[in-house]
Structure 1
Amino acid sequence: MKRTILPGCLCALAFSVFAADTPAGFSQTNYQTHVTELASDAFEGRAPMSAGEEKTVQYLVAQLKAMGIQPGYFGDYVQKVPMAGIAASQDMQLTLGEQVFKPGLDFVSRTQQLAAKTQLLDSPVLFVGYGIDAPEFDWHDYRDLDVRGKTLLMLVNDPGYATQDEALFRGNAMTYYGRWTYKYEEAIRRGAAGVFIIHETGAAGYPWSVVESGATGTKFTLVDKDNNASELDAMGWIQTEATRRLFSSLGLDFDALKAAAAKPGFKALDLGIKANLLSKHWRQMGESRNVVGLIPGQKQADEYIVLSAHWDGFGKKVGVKGDSIFNAAVDNATGVAGVLELARMLTQSETPLSRSVLLAFFTAEETGLLGARAFAEKPPVATRQMVALLNIDSMNMTGKTDYVLQYGNGLQELEDWLAKAAGQQQRRIKLDANPQNGLFFRSDHFALAKHGVPGLLFMDLGDSDPDYIANRYHKPNDEVLPTWKYDGVEQDLNLIYNLVEKLANGSAWPAWKDGAEFKSVREADRANP
């Protein structure tokens, strides 16, 4: 996109000067100013590849410079992230054998290829159970199976959730293998042409309406040197009732096959039919940016702690009655402000850190962790040099709590560090109340976890304010409120600061625990000279 200085961008410079005169402890004034500015209408909802992005990036870079923080991405403050926006025309129809399915009502489909159209043409259809190959759980749905050029039907989540058997995967708690993103990625690795995940509200964690709205608008994707030619021709979802209708027409019992798929040793089933789908696409090429700063360590400068937050929101929407700007105040101006305030506290500390700290502000989290993925794939330092990542994806704006939220359980030694830090504040650990929804795998730290880097997620999306999810989450009225309290923010930022300080002034390398999906990845990465 064309780089221009937008009117009003000098406000970032004006707001940066207060940082130099504030003591190292938490400053509500600093924090509140950042949130109010980033969530203002002037930033237009901070959508990637928009005027709001330009203003956001300039604001963040100005703040880092004002604090004396060095550029953190190969001598620059920004990492360029080539992206494309793709929207699928909704005049398509899917046929599976003799059954015809309607878009939106029965199925949704999109692609990440940069082609004007993609097509499933007489593609053989297989039911592959959960579509999982997980050596650490001894689960192999693809064993002895060639899926090249074929269309796969698969169940959402994983067998642990389906059976509620704590000895299978992680029981009710979703694993990485239960996420729809994994299922598409695994199918791509094996050369499949199309994937349709069978939607169930409980197993997915959201109703069909969320799937439908997410697939029918413009979706962003990263762009590779081959214009994403290796991506699926069709990546979609299909309604449970539509699947029942299909299986019944073939003389098959869907419920019986679903139950069988949750048992070890399930064999994929060739349905003996062909899939056909023609999909046409609108495409927009562009470029977004991550912002990266560096606080060099004094002794172990080549070992890094990463502090991150995503800066993006949903921007402005057409066709919305009344307020059309999605200000994204809680999610995630509060997190960005948190990282900026932690950066100031660290730079003004009387005791320099031994290890280095990378400050990463990621783009396009809301459209698939794209900025974090780009950072993980082309990091400024090797992932084996990253000790840990602490990611803030919304903060508690309702006041102090006697607990600290923890996402994921039994996965990594960082959980023990978190429990100790919480105890020092006379607080307890509170586990995610809905582990079946897999929130651990739905924020930016996950993109680095897939490369082996241990990471903690700090997020308060409605735990302390249930009204937020019901009425403001991803809506235009996610705005700064006069009722907000900042003592909970101070409490959490002090905890994160203490974690950073202990990690950065020590020699420990917190590891993944036995059975964690990323343990072998980390061990191989760390062993790489």
Structure 2
Amino acid sequence: MKPSHLVGLLGILCLPAVNAATFHFDAPTYRQDVKTLASDKFEGRGPLSEGEKLTISYLEKSFREIGLKPGFGDSYVQDVPMAKITADQQMQLRVGGLTFTNGRDFTARTEQVVPQVQLANSDVVFVGYGINAPEYGWNDYAGVDVKGKTVIVLVNDPGFATQDPQVFKGNAMTYYGRWTYKYEEAARQGAKAVFIVHETAPAAYGWNVVESSNTNSKYTLVDDHKNLSHVGVMGWIQHNVAQQIFKAAGLDYDQLKLTAVKKGFKAVTLPLQANLTINNHIELATSHNVAGLLPGTTQPDEWLVMHAHWDHLGKAIVDGKEAIYHGAVDNASGVAGVLALARHFKGLQGKAAPKRSILFASFTAEENGLLGAQYFAEHPPVPTKKLVAFLNIDGMNVGKPTHYVLRYGEGVSELEGYLADAAKAQGREVKADPRPQNGLMFRSDHFALAKEGVPGLLFLSLGDTDPDYIAHKYHQPADRYDPNWNLGGVAQDLDLMSDILDKLANSDDWPKWLEASDFKKRRAQDGL
């Protein structure tokens, strides 16, 4: 069937069978789910808000009505303990004789659940990209002790800087280029603080994003030791600030940056010390993941997960007025997709019913750093070695059908073969991520499961058929439900996902990681 044949269909959309049981897209029900979740009443679905209460209640009720069993033992809900940390923004960073202004010149926050974090005459070390990657023969921390010190690191990875496909993955960002990795590795090395040098091209966003993301309240999971294993200061500095600091140390930042793209780079200690005090207001609270289980008929202890995060950005003051960040595409569209797939698979009977179990899930706090997914990955309802794969929707194509489907990552896992087969059955092609330098495959909930060894697929269609979406709607109050949405793309993609789920749920296959990585090593620990 050509994509154009789907355009304009109303009510129940039926697509040709590409699996054992034809997927029927119930457009009115899908619309109602998105419209409700993205309504003013749900207040943008911010974690720990009234909007969360309404969302959790709606999802639990929906899973019950569909006929799914509780996903967490005898409950549809998993408690996710979190801390809301609000840093006093009246802080200054002093490096040597230089003083920098918060927001304009730098940002700093912490995930340590303590009232104060302080840098007092902390030695400063430039560690290049801050990467320790044995599979690439790369270690920026080799031969240097950064315990208790402040490290300055470059954003992204050497592959992007060189555009050489033989260096890391060239233009395509690896996890070593993500800011989250920079902080994690520095903590493992014992550093007290990290400041990432911001540059728009390798970061894939401007300083305004850094400032807005790091100068307000932030959420974090809470462990038994107040997250003291986390790096104390998670910071960013402007490019010109880095230049000033290195000049004060008698060094040329831009020249040193060029040496950092080469294997064998040696860290450089600056003859300067950093001083900074972060005062925090801390609130402890509990957010929630939600999931319903469809038990398998013959292999019920082998689970697939079909997921979309339920949270968005809640409410905020914009231009002096309260605004609701509705998150209709991101990600009410995905949650409604999970509910549609749950209804489809629950309705299958006899030989068409899935042999393996399918968990239909929706996690909290994706927008705050994949926190709900991380908690699920660390506290799964069954051991991770029982999880076959994790399929994740993070925004659907609410417009017309397309002749392609996007693939995030290449040569990562055997799930890419399932994607290719399902696309071929629809007469579509698989297109590579058009912006691999942005590292999107590391920025959604499936990645938290990947770190525990579970392979996943990301379905992300933000702005595919609406060029205005990224510019004016993404993470803006304008991301609202629109009754004029075509929804042909949703019907098309849910049909594709149902094909993949059907094949995985009725096989003995355990998709494997293809490339050498920590994820592959972690899976091997489970004997897979």
Q: TM-score normalized by structure 2?
A: 0.94
Identical residues among aligned pairs (%): 53
AA matched with 1:54: K
1:101 aligns with 2:100: yes
Q: Distance in 2 between matches of 1:138 and 1:382?
A: 32
Q: Is the 8 A contact 2:124 2:269 kept in 1?
A: yes
AA matched with 2:507: G
Question: Which ranges in structure 1 are unaligned for 5 or more consecutive residues?
Answer: 1-22
1:239 paired residue number: 238
1:383: how far off? 1.0
1:137: how far off? 1.1
1:173: how far off? 0.2
1:4 paired residue number: none
1:408 paired residue number: 409
Q: Distance in 1 between matches of 2:323 and 2:157?
A: 38
Q: Distance in 1 between matches of 2:375 and 2:505?
A: 25
SS in 2 for 1:198: strand
1:61: how far off? 0.4
2:471 paired residue number: 470
Please give the per-residue CA displacement for 1:57-114, whole angstroms capped at 9, x wherever unaligned: 0000001111110001122111100111112112111111222211111110001112
SS in 2 for 1:95: strand
Against the structure 1 CA distance between its residues 321 and 196, is the aligned structure 2 distance closer, same or farther, given a 3 Å change threshold?
A: same
AA matched with 2:144: L
1:514: how far off? 2.4
2:488 paired residue number: 487
Q: Distance in 2 between matches of 1:228 and 1:349?
A: 45
1:218 paired residue number: 217
| Aligned 1:334-353 pairs, distance under 5 A | 334-350=333-349, 351-353=352-354
AA matched with 1:467: D
1:291 paired residue number: 290
Q: Distance in 2 between matches of 1:233 and 1:414?
A: 37
SS in 2 for 1:184: helix
Against the structure 1 CA distance between its residues 161 and 24, is the aligned structure 2 distance closer, same or farther, given a 3 Å change threshold?
A: closer
1:318: how far off? 2.9
AA matched with 1:287: T
1:322: how far off? 5.4
Question: Which ranges in structure 2 are unaligned for 5 or more consecutive residues?
Answer: 1-21
AA matched with 1:484: W
2:440 paired residue number: 439
2:86 paired residue number: 87
1:49 aligns with 2:44: no
SS in 1 for 2:226: coil
Q: Is the 8 A contact 1:136 1:517 kept in 2?
A: no
2:277 paired residue number: 278
2:398 paired residue number: 397
Against the structure 1 CA distance between its residues 319 and 435, is the aligned structure 2 distance closer, same or farther, given a 3 Å change threshold?
A: closer
1:24: how far off? 6.1
1:371 paired residue number: 372
SS in 1 for 2:24: coil
Q: TM-score normalized by structure 1?
A: 0.93
1:380: how far off? 0.6
The count of aligned residue pairs is 505
1:362 paired residue number: 363
2:8 paired residue number: none
Q: Distance in 1 between matches of 2:90 and 2:276?
A: 11
| Aligned 1:143-222 pairs, distance under 5 A | 143-222=142-221
1:358: how far off? 1.1
Q: Distance in 2 between matches of 1:481 and 1:187?
A: 44
Q: Is the 8 A contact 1:411 1:512 kept in 2?
A: yes
1:483: how far off? 2.2
SS in 2 for 1:325: strand
| Aligned 1:261-340 pairs, distance under 5 A | 261-321=260-320, 324-340=323-339
SS in 2 for 1:280: strand
SS in 2 for 1:387: strand
1:136: how far off? 1.3
AA matched with 2:441: F
Q: Distance in 1 between matches of 2:474 and 2:279?
A: 31
Q: Distance in 1 between matches of 2:144 and 2:72?
A: 42
Q: Is the 8 A contact 1:307 1:359 kept in 2?
A: yes
Please give the per-residue CA displacement for 1:279-330, whole angstroms capped at 9, x wherever unaligned: 1112221110000111111111111111011000111113545561111100
Q: Distance in 2 between matches of 1:79 and 1:131?
A: 35
